[in-house]
């Protein structure tokens, strides 16, 4: 009777260990979003930044900056700004902003599990815009728009 009980406890422990390992492999740590311009040359909007620019949230809007905001990507397709209960979304004008509800149109492509890096896609597309005023857009047709990609990189 005791050996049967012990065997069942070992089975249960093994199942719990497998679940924990599976969840650990699927976990994506908090990260920053980096900006890379696709077309270089005259009018390069990124020249003003001394290092690789990142996305920072100010007044609930996404800007290119030397500073950065920390996000958590969820495999459900949304990004949560880590110190708020707000989520990255695209507003009616095509600008990246924070909103109260998860916007599930984001995904990561080519995420390297060991490196914690992935190209951030919106609606399956990787090209976004860096506007002349520093805002980040998606099909916004903002003034001075330059094509950029966004990369999610874990910081932990």
pLDDT tens, residue by residue, 88-118: 999 999 999 999 999 999 999 986 655 778 9
**What sign results for the dihedral spanned by CA atoms 78, 83, 84, 88?**
negative
How does residue 78 score in pLDDT terms, banded at 50, 70 and 90?
very high
Answer yes or no: is 10 within a domain.
no
Answer yes or no: is 23 within a domain.
no
> What's the structural domain count of the chain?
1
For residue 70, the model assigns a pLDDT of 98
Answer yes or no: is 99 within a domain.
yes
Answer yes or no: is 105 within a domain.
yes
Answer yes or no: is 121 within a domain.
yes
Residue-number span of the structural domain to which 117 is assigned: 29-154
Looking at residue 99, which CATH number applies to its domain? 2.80.10
Answer yes or no: is 67 within a domain.
yes
| pLDDT of 42 above 70 | no
Report field, pTM of the whole predicted structure over 0.95:
no
Answer yes or no: is 15 within a domain.
no
By percentage, how much of the chain surpasses pLDDT 90? 63
Answer yes or no: is 135 within a domain.
yes
How does residue 10 score in pLDDT terms, banded at 50, 70 and 90?
low
């Amino acid at each position: 009777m005791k050996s049967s009980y012990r065997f069942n406890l070992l089975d249960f422990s093994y199942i719990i260990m497998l679940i924990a390992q599976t969840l650990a492999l699927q976990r994506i740590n908090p990260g920053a979003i980096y900006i890379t311009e696709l077309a270089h040359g005259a009018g390069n909007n990124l020249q003003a930044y001394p290092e690789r620019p990142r996305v920072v949230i100010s007044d609930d809007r996404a800007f290119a900056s030397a500073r950065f905001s920390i996000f958590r990507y969820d495999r459900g397709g949304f990004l949560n700004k880590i110190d708020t209960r707000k989520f990255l979304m695209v507003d009616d004008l095509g600008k990246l902003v924070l909103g109260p509800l998860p916007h599930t149109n984001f995904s990561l492509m080519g995420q390297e599990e060991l490196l914690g890096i992935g190209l951030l896609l919106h609606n399956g597309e990787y090209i976004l815009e860096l506007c002349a005023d520093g805002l980040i857009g998606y099909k916004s047709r903002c003034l001075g728009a330059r094509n950029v990609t966004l990369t999610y990189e874990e910081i932990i």
